[in-house]
Structure 1
Amino acid sequence: MPFEIQHQSFGSLTEYFLHNSDTGEYASILPAYGAVVRQLVLRNPAPNPENRLLSLIRAPKSEQALLADETHASALLFPFPSRIRHGIYGFQGEMYTLPMNEANQDNAIHGFLAGRPFELLGQTVTDTGVSLALGYVHDGSYPGYPFPFEFRVRYTLSTTGFTVKYEVLNTGPKPAPVSFGWHPYFTINEEPIDQLTIEVPSARQIVLDDNLLPVGETILTEKGEIALRERELDAAFLVEENTDGGVTTILRSAKQGLQLNVWQETGSKKFNYLVIYTPIGRDNIAIEPLTSNVNAFNNGEGLIVLAPNEITGGTIRVSLS
């Protein structure tokens, strides 16, 4: 059986490795630090490649670098992704105020699971894959979010790539507003993104104001493969409707003759939004599937209202071709 789970120290943390010993592919996860995916390395599918294994996620090299990082790299964004202006929102006739953790914009951003300790719930190894299940329990005590929940994520490395599957249960007595996103910074073996192209599965782009909050939509006039050279993006999109159950963002390297595919499940209460962001360093790109629009706690666009004892969830897949 080629699949296995290993673990080793990463500073004071324990890092779990989902490993395929036949191909050398692996994903590494830090349960005690927000269940963050630190590394993702998949096999190059090109014939006779120069590099047999490719690093696909920007990885902090040390625990110190991880703790100092303020970009939410690979973070699980819950109970809200993106921004809430001044951290203030209304829900079912009540007003709530969240801590502002984006000081330069005076916003609350990306929920509060980043850096939180997750519990190990289970490990599964089969002939075709290996998975790690992790969970976090919120008792309702976080300021501005008095809605208890149980959050679970399952990471799977298989013969077809890497999968992120989340699930959340409302454990409180009242309906709860929820939304989820994943925030990986992708790279294709650290090739500069100015040499890459991207194909976005969207017909409409969200118009953002100076505070990066939505004020409307516009038709996406640039379709198909878009060159990233000298292009700065911090953009939100409403993805295309798809009867196949999901859509794929494609990051393509002509130099390496391959493409990175980020598939997100679509449909009711699924990943119907997307954010693309190009950092200053130009050696990686954030491709963030989201279940809601930016500021959904106020505008309601894509917001999931979870009844007591109700469960919601969705799936994201990463692969090379």
Structure 2
Amino acid sequence: MPFQITTQPFGPLPNGDISLTEYVLEHTESGEFITVVPEFGGILRRLVLRKSTKLFALLKAPETPQALMSDESYASALLYPFPSRIRHGVYQFEGEDFALKLNEAKRDNALHGFVHGRPFSVVSQDVTDTHAQLTLRYDYAGDTFGYPFPFVLTVTYELIQANLLRQGSHWEADKMCALRIRYSAQNIGTTRCPAAFGWHPYFTLTGEPIDHFSLSLPGRTPIKLDKHMIADGRSPFEEASEFNLHKVELDSAFEINPTSEPDASESYAETILTSLSTGVRLIVGQQTGAGKLNYLVCYTPTRRDSIAIEPLTANVNAFNNGEGLTVLEPWEELSGTMWVRLD
């Protein structure tokens, strides 16, 4: 069987309380693999996929436990119960005021939820002839200041044969692999709760500078952001387009317009990062539709060695403006799918 799952020590956190284990999901014939660190926010730390005969390292993420602890870029973080920013960390829900911890002091915002860095548990592993699959779970009791709503967040990482990635797809059907991520957040409390999800990966192609790439965005409506990076209106709709990233700085939010194949049962959108030197395309896909990943943030860090392409279910400051926000009844779930592939 070409797929396998193994573990390896990643090292202790600086406080010495936890020694991290990294799970490796691998295709032994192609050399493609992903690695996941459950005890630290369930993050995907490495993603290596193949195009033709060449392997490409596709993620910029911390290399050591010490770097994980000190990282302020949220590299590969799972973002829940809210992605992006909440102005002043304050919101109102069903007539009651709530105040979250501020973790973006320079802009006076609450940022990216609070599951990043928290310990997930491994609940299942599965290996077949076509995939290796790892499912993680985080149980939250409602004890974080400003969010008294218990939930269970489940995330499944899957290294899968690329031609099986989407039902009805016509993608290349050789032995190339792809990454698929499924998430589900369930309200296990007795009251309704606000919910939104996102993912914060930084992409590259084996360290190539981001100025050597172009970016293709799906049809979208740009979100205007104020000086605090809070949503403040919208610009006119823009058709799907491609542009060169040379000297382009992005910290931009969009509501995206989905596309679909004629025989596909679900709508989706894809953002494409293309190497101008090799022509290799890195494709980030997100499921769209009611309650799915209908928003996107793109960000180019000052070091210019990667680009964050962040699928989100809701707009910036959604706990206040309600744009894309999901309100879960007790035992209801917020769920969806994302993927990454090469072309």
Moved more, 217-226 or 232-241: 217-226
- For residues 85-164 of structure 1, the aligned pairs below 5 Å read 85-160=87-162, 161-164=178-181
Partner of 1:239: 256
Distance in 1 of aligned mates of 2:339 and 2:240: 23
Measure the CA separation in 2 of the matches of 1:202 and 1:214. 19
Matched residue, 1:34 = 41
Runs of 5+ consecutive residues of structure 2 not aligned to the other structure: 13-19, 163-177, 261-265
Counterparts of 1:36 and 1:312 in 2: how far apart (Å)?
Answer: 19
CA distance in 2, matches of 1:220, 1:309: 36
Of residues 17, 21, 33 in structure 1, which corresponds to 2:28?
Answer: 21
Tell me if the contact between 1:202 and 1:237 (Cα under 8 Å) persists in the aligned partners.
no
Which residue identity lines up with residue 3 of structure 2 in the other structure? F
Moved more, 265-274 or 222-231: 222-231
Change (3 A) 1:128 1:310: same
**Residue in 1 aligned with 2:305?**
283
Q: Once the 2 structures are TM-superposed, how far is the Cα of residue 63 of structure 1 from its aligned partner?
A: 1.3
Contact 2:219–2:241 (Cα < 8 Å) also in 1: no
For residues 1-321 of structure 1, what are the structure 2 equivalents within 5 Å?
A: 1-12=1-12, 13-45=20-52, 52-160=54-162, 161-221=178-238, 223-243=240-260, 244-321=266-343
Do the aligned residues in 1 keep the contact of 2:231 with 2:317 (CA within 8 Å)?
yes
- Matched to 2:194, the amino acid is P
* Superposition deviation, residue 219 in structure 1: 1.8
Shift of residue 220, structure 1, vs aligned partner: 4.8
Measured in 2, the distance between the counterparts of 1:202 and 1:143 equals 38
Amino acid at match of 1:4: Q
State the shift of 1:59 in Å: 2.6
Measure the CA separation in 1 of the matches of 2:185 and 2:218. 26
- Deviation at 1:202? 2.7
Deviation string 1:146-169 (CA, Å, 9 cap, x unpaired) is 000011000000111001110011
What is the alpha-carbon distance in structure 2 between the residues aligned to residue 106 and residue 202 of structure 1? 32
Q: What is the deviation of 1:298?
A: 0.2
Question: Post-superposition shift, 1:221?
Answer: 5.0
Task: Determine helix, strand or coil for the equivalent of 1:280.
Answer: coil
Separation in 2, partners of 1:24, 1:178: 37
Return the alpha-carbon distance in structure 2 between the equivalents of residues 172 and 59 of structure 1: 34
Which SS does the other structure have where 2:235 is aligned?
Answer: strand
Distance in 2 of aligned mates of 1:267 and 1:121: 28
Q: CA offsets per residue over residues 14-66 of structure 1, 9 Å max, x none?
A: 00000100100000000000000110000123xxx5xx210000032211111
Flag as ranges the 4+ runs of structure 1 deviating above 3 A: 220-223, 241-244
Q: Distance in 2 between matches of 1:257 and 1:25?
A: 20
Shift of 1:242: 3.2
The alignment partner of 2:66 has SS state of helix
Give % identity.
49
SS at the partner of 1:219?
coil
Partners of 1:149 and 1:206 in 2: CA distance: 29
